[in-house]
Each structure stands twice: as C-alpha cells, then as structure tokens.
Structure 1
Amino acid sequence: MNIEHLKDNGIDIAVISGDEMVIVDTQSALDLAMTVKYETGAERIVIDKDAVCEEFFILSTGMAGEILQKFVNYHVKVAVYGEYSHYTSKPLKDFIYESNQGKDFFFVATKEEAVQKLTETQ
C-alpha cells in the first residue's frame, strides 16, 4: 500500500494506491484510517474502489454500514473512486446516492473528483 500525502486548499488528504486489497473488513478499514492519521496527519482519504472488497458492496453483509460508522466516529472522511455502473442493486444505488448527499463518505468516478469532494467538504 502506498500513501501519497496531498495538501489541497490547506486540507491534508491521503491518496491510497497499490495492487493489494486494503479494505477487507471493518478492522482493516479502521487500521487504514489510523495508519493514515499516524503517517500523514490526514483525516481525509481517497481510495480506489478496486482496493475495497466486493463484500462491502453487498449491503446485506452489513460491512458498509459498519465501516462508514467507524469512519464517522473517528472523524475520517473518505472518497472511493471507480466504476459503479455494473451494480444493479437498487439498495446499493440508493446507498451510494445518499452517501454522496452527506459530508463524510463519497462514491465518485475519478481520483480527481474524490480529491475535489474532500476539499469541498468542511
């Protein structure tokens, strides 16, 4: 896992990259947030959708809700970028829509959009 530290409009953002799956369960998501805070001081994380396990996108597992709650509790904002059009689940589409209306967790198409979302949000 590579952590790139950006500063955009005075806001610290960590961009996670690499070939490995970074979020595979609630604990790995929390570990990621704490590692990023420790290494960069950033409380905003941009991550490629490919680094998030598919189970996250199956809402009936409860993983997405648990992970989002952990991030909110620890004041970490996250933007996941990638392709979502192949998902057909209406609950997942609603979840993505609702998340994008909030201020803590976003699903966008590109890394640039992810950085932009996290710099716009206070």
Structure 2
Amino acid sequence: MNVRIDKKGSSEVAVVESGEVLVAEVQDALDLMATVQYQTGCFKILLRKANVSETFFDLSTRLAGEILQKYANYGVKLAIAGDFSGYASKSLRDFIYESNRGKQFFFLPDEAGALEALHGMK
C-alpha cells in the first residue's frame, strides 16, 4: 500500500494506492484509517473501489453502514472512486445517491471527482 497526499490550498487528501483489497471488514477500515492518519495526519481519504470488498456493496451485510459510522465518529471523510453502475440494487443506488448529496462520504466514478468532493469539504 502506498499513500500519497493531494493538496489543494490548505486541504489535504490521502490517496491510497494498492492493487489489493484493503477493506474486507470493519477492523480493516479502522486499521486503514489509523495508518493513514499516523502516516499523513489526513482526515480525508480516497480509496479505489477495487480496494474495498464486494461485501461492502451488499447492504444486507451492514458492513458499509458500520464502516461509515465509524469514520463519521472519528470525523474522517471518505471517497471511493470507481464504477458503480453495475450494481442492480435499488437500495445501493439510493445509498450512493444520498451519500453523494452529503458532506462525509462520496462514491464517484473517478479520482478527479473524488478529490474535488473531498477538497470541497471543510
């Protein structure tokens, strides 16, 4: 895993780069958050969809809700960049839509959009 910092003005986003699944359960997400904060001091994280287990996108597992709640409790903003169009679940599409309307979590098709969303958050 490599973590690079993307800066825009006073905003810093930790961009996590890895070729493997990094988040398969809640503890993985907490470990990732702690590692990123320790290495960079960032409270904004960008992950690629490929770094997140498919279980996350099955809302019936409650994994997404548990992870996002933990990140919210710690004041960490998260964007996941990737193609989400292949999911047939209406509840997942609604979840992504509502998340993107908020200020804490984003599911966007590309890194540029994810960085823009995270840099736009205080």
Q: TM-score, normalised by structure 2?
A: 0.98
- Deviation, structure 1 residue 52: 0.3
> Which amino acid in 2 is paired with 1:31?
D
- Residue 8 of structure 1 and its aligned partner are, at CA, apart by 1.4
The C-alpha deviation readout for 1:50-84, integer Å capped at 9, x for no partner, is 00000000000000000000000011000100001
Identity in percent? 47
Equivalence for 1:79: 79
Kindly report which structure 2 residues correspond to 1:85-96, keeping only aligned pairs within 5 A, or say none.
85-96=85-96
- 1:108, CA displacement in angstroms? 0.3
Q: Which amino acid aligns with 1:40?
A: T
- The match for 2:43 is 43
Deviation at 1:27, TM superposition (A): 0.5
CA drift at 1:121: 1.4
Flag structure 1 segments of 5+ consecutive residues without an equivalent.
Answer: none
- By how many angstroms is 1:111 displaced? 0.5
Distance 1:112 1:32 in 2: 21
Could you say which residue in structure 1 is the equivalent of 2:14?
14
Matches within 5 A, 1:1-122: 1-122=1-122
* Cα distance in 2 between the residues matched to 1:34 and 1:110: 24
1:59 and 1:70 map into 2 onto residues whose CA distance is 16
TM-score by length of 1: 0.98
Provide the C-alpha distance between the structure 2 equivalents of 1:8 and 1:27, rounded to a whole number of angstroms. Answer: 30
Amino acid corresponding to residue 65 of structure 2 in structure 1: G
The secondary structure found in structure 2 opposite 1:114 is helix
5+ residue gaps, structure 2? none
Aligned length: 122
Mapped partners of 1:67, 1:81: distance in 2: 16
Distance 1:55 1:29 in 2: 13
